């Protein structure tokens, strides 16, 4: 379970995370990307091919992590919380039954195996500008 106060010790950059003052890191989830009330933090993250990023909902609102189908590299795996295989499927499932929603503390992980730029969004808050991007380097 993610503990909010723990975020104070996090230092983020280039997709890597350094943890300060942590006694037992094995018991904690360290987010690469946090979800605030209306945004992904940080908005832009860099990582390397083969790395897995953890998106964590650190807010009380429901959010999704949903890739733009036309905003990811060719041949890249589509990704979305809820496990949807297309953007359209993810959008429809949210409208129908809030499927794909991540509750507070929930974690979504994705491993990036193709280099390039990935754009993604939160279905309910896209209209408010809740989008993010990930740069995956070789
Ligand atoms: Cu959201």
| Widest distance between CA atoms in the chain | 44
**How many angstroms is it from 72 CA to the middle of ligand 1?**
20
109, 68 contact by CB (below 8 A): no
Cα–Cα distance for residue pair 68/118, rounded to 1 Å: 8
Above pLDDT 90, what percent of the chain? 79
Coil, strand, or helix at residue 25? Answer: helix
pLDDT digits (tens, 9 = 90+) for 18-47: 444 444 555 578 999 999 999 999 999 999
pLDDT at 94 over 60: yes
**How many angstroms is it from 59 CA to the middle of ligand 1?**
9
Give the chain's domain count. 1
Question: Which structural domain range is residue 64 located in?
Answer: 4-137
**How many angstroms is it from 136 CA to the middle of ligand 1?**
23
**How many angstroms is it from 24 CA to the middle of ligand 1?**
30
The mean pLDDT value of the chain amounts to: 87
CATH code of the domain covering residue 17: 2.60.40.420
**How many angstroms is it from 132 CA to the middle of ligand 1?**
11
What pLDDT does residue 4 have? 45
- Confidence at 8, pLDDT banded by 50, 70, 90: very low
């Amino acid at each position: 379970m993610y503990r909010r106060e723990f975020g104070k010790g996090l230092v983020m950059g280039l997709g890597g995370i350094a943890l300060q003052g942590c006694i037992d890191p094995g018991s904690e989830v360290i987010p690469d990307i946090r979800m605030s009330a209306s945004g992904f933090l940080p908005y832009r993250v860099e990582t390397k091919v083969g790395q897995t990023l953890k998106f964590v909902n650190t807010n009380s609102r429901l959010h999704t992590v949903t890739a733009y189908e036309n905003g990811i590299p060719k041949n890249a795996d589509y990704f979305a919380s809820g496990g949807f295989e297309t953007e359209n499927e993810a959008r429809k499932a949210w409208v129908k039954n809030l499927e794909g929603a991540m509750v507070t503390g929930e974690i979504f992980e994705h491993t990036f195996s193709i280099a390039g730029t990935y754009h993604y969004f939160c279905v309910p808050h896209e209209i408010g500008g809740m989008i993010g991007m990930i740069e995956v380097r070789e």
